[in-house]
Amino acid sequence: MLLMTVGIGLLAVLDFLRFRQNRAGAERPELAASELLRQRYARGELTRKEYRGSLVDMLADRYAQGEIDLGEYEARLAHLVGEQSDGAAGQEFPTGPSTTTVGRRPT
């Protein structure tokens, strides 16, 4: 009888821990996605351009889905663009959820 009680208690604890872990991942899925991107970039599977482009795409998706407002989108985008150590002149970055570009000179 005691062994059965301990077994049921152990199953309840394991079930609770599994539920808690699943719930934590469901609350902030963008963290999991950005962490995956960071790991792939660190392993050399993504170029710097692909990594940053994916971060910008994820940010634009969060704005389009209403998870963040325009002010937060622009602040985070400015932070991403500001991290450029090689200069942003002539590079394309979306200014909003549309595909407009900044910094391009007419040819």
Q: pTM for the full model?
A: 0.51
- Identify whether 5 is part of a domain: no
- Cα 81 to Cα 3, 5, 76, 92: the distances in Å are 60, 58, 9, 10
Parent domain of 57: 29-83
Which residues, 6+ apart, have CB-to-CB distance to 59 below 8 Å?
Answer: 68, 73, 76, 77, 80
Residue 57, phi then psi, degrees to nearest 5: -60, -45
Max mean pLDDT range (2-11, 72-81, 85-94): 72-81
Distance between CA 16 and CA 44 in Å, rounded? 37
Residue 18 pLDDT exceeds 80: no
Mean pLDDT of 73-101: 63
Query: Tens digit of pLDDT for each residue in 29-85?
Result: 666 888 999 999 999 999 999 999 999 999 999 999 999 999 999 999 999 888 754
- 9/2 Cα distance (integer angstroms): 11
Q: How many domains does the chain have?
A: 1
Is 93 within a domain? no
